[in-house]
Structure 1
């Protein structure tokens, strides 16, 4: 079985609720957070897969269509690839917040579906997020949790941003 790194999107990979952008509803509104392409590029050799798992309630709320969301993700993947950073797949929940669906984080369906599709050992994998719902989803699936922010009691590690977490993730994943 393979190991994977699961990344939340908004607040981990790209800006959200900043002076430049409130929410990402168009490809040109996606701005990478500092160090993200370098972080993913540095992590790629240590994981069989790097996935993005993201709640995108804006679809269910009518702020964008799934076709537009897919354009945003295609743009994100291609821009990262230009920097040598590879994202293997993106899974998203398009449903409204509080819709009761099985896929919206803190539920773990996005993670477990990708793990089944790609034969991933979740116990050797990591979920990186900036909200407790990300960490809870990862824990429900069986991954380690890396929280980006100030603190999260369920997380295995806490860092201010993705680039700061890279060395810990690499060291932890290469332990025998």
Structure 2
């Protein structure tokens, strides 16, 4: 079973009230929102973190006009390897043990998204991307849509 947008408190509730441990938790995760608490909670429970919006989104609630796709740090890293910013971000996810599900309907972008296995980011480059975290999200109040009820039949 997989879940989506489960915050640490929801994972704790789920695992405390049932014997179910999800295999994956899909969360918004990109360089501007690395979700350290959610990643740690997923790891604590042995759950794979899967990033939706792994290269950042268009609409952000912080008012930040910059997006990861045009960020100068990521652009500079991409230039060193002859890669796009999207490819750098997908490689960043992969090297940190996450699954990423980029969205595209354009054949050339889909092919580009697969072309991330012929280069390796250094520890310094990974840290520079991690340092871009500002908590910028496309979903400002995730708790509103995360409440759920679990009914466990009595034995």
Q: How high is the TM-score relative to the length of structure 2?
A: 0.30
Greater strand fraction, Structure 1 or Structure 2: 1
Higher relative contact order (CA 8 A, sep 6+): 2
Q: Work out which of the two has the higher radius of gyration on C-alpha atoms and give 1 or 2.
A: 2
